[in-house]
Homo-oligomer: A and B are copies of this chain.
């Protein structure tokens, strides 16, 4: 198993390289009789498409998704749903340059070490383009969750050292960076412009909020809900850290501060981030991920070639300055996939323990 599948009952398998024929995903375990159209999925794909904000790459992918199986008469049938996105507007020639050079911060060196062979065109399988399959599968997962009134929203709480000082959810859709603080969003955009001129790139922090998650989701030992969420989010290329609820702040909290008191109406605060003992407690689930700066920068960098001889490189072309805001949708998708899976697992348990 090459690690391209994810999930137990709602199981997603992605495939495809950045500059190959196509990319796609097979979803095995989607419940039958659920309405699903290409438009449902396309909407999610359009959001993560590059070339929208100023901060994004200019490649004009049309990213038209096709449903090839598992849907009949507009409804899922219970059989695997195969989704295909053709690669268009692909010019691999700029990548000939990196055929024998390991770009810093990229997977070039490690793919070569692992496989002894590597599709160097556009980063191959290691490209952020791989996430198109995740977002497509996430769209299907979101439909399952919507039936249960579970809602997922990802937004930018930090970019280039600028922090959102307040969380105004209505603001998120209003700015291209999906930042819930209008003033911070403006400062972030300015910072992006500045860094773009320098040929450099920026990291940040994305927060994902889940509203309406029923209590009981998650398995108590290895498949704790936060464990599966951490894996899901850490499996996104640019992510270097994941935290739930108070996260790293717990390090300097007292137990009396960290414990959430429970009242007749539920938890009275939410430092647990909606998960206790690996199982959702009915409160909002709150996750944060650290996103590293895009490694493709036009500044000069020291590296080596296949023979480990030193070379100095500059990566031409226009690249995104930050994986944010596009990565927000990938985070949402991965969280949706985990929750849909655990929802189905809990339904199995519930219905089998019912007398």
Docked Cα-Cα span, A28 to B205, in Å, equals 32
A55 at the binding interface (Cβ < 8 Å): no
A161 touching B256 in the complex, CB below 8 Å, given contacts A79-B125, A221-B125, A224-B3: no
Which residues in B have their C-beta under 8 angstroms from that of A237? 277-278
Are B102 and A20 in contact, CB atoms less than 8 angstroms apart? no
A68–B277 contact, CB under 8 A? no
Beta-carbon nearest neighbor of A224 in chain B? B235
A57 at the interface (CB under 8 A from B): no
**Interface pair B353/A32, CB less than 8 Å apart:** yes
A58 contacts chain B at the CB level, 8 A cutoff: no
Cβ contacts under 8 Å, A203 to chain B: 250-253, 258
Asked if A51 lies at the interface with its beta carbon under 8 angstroms from chain B, I say no
Q: Evaluate contact between B15 and A80: CB separation under 8 angstroms.
A: yes
Flag A107-131 by CB within 8 Å of B: 1 or 0 each.
1011101111111010011100010
- Once the chains bind, are A279 and B110 in contact (CB under 8 Å)? yes
The answer to whether A23 touches B158, judged by C-beta atoms less than 8 angstroms apart, is no
A169 at the interface (CB under 8 A from B): no
Contact B351 A68 (CB under 8 A): no
Give the residues in chain B near A26, CB-CB below 8 Å.
4, 13, 15, 26
A interface SS class:
mixed
Residue of B nearest to A114 (CB): B216
Binding-face segment, A39-47, A170-178, A179-187, A296-304: A296-304
Q: A247-B241, A256-B299, A290-B251 are in contact. Are A69 and B21 (CB under 8 A)?
A: yes
B254 touches A200 (CB 8 A): yes
Interface residues of A in 284-301 (CB under 8 A from B): 290-297, 299, 301
A111: B residues at CB distance < 8 A: 220, 277, 279
Known contacts A254-B200, A308-B264, A349-B78; is-contact A223 B235 (Cβ 8 Å): yes
Could you give 11 example pairs across A and B, Cβ below 8 Å? A1-B8, A2-B29, A15-B28, A15-B79, A17-B69, A78-B349, A105-B259, A200-B255, A227-B235, A240-B247, A249-B290
**Nearest Cβ on chain B to A225's Cβ, whole angstroms:** 9
Please indicate the chain B residues that have their CB under 8 angstroms from the CB of A220 in the complex. 2-3, 79, 107, 111, 114, 125-126
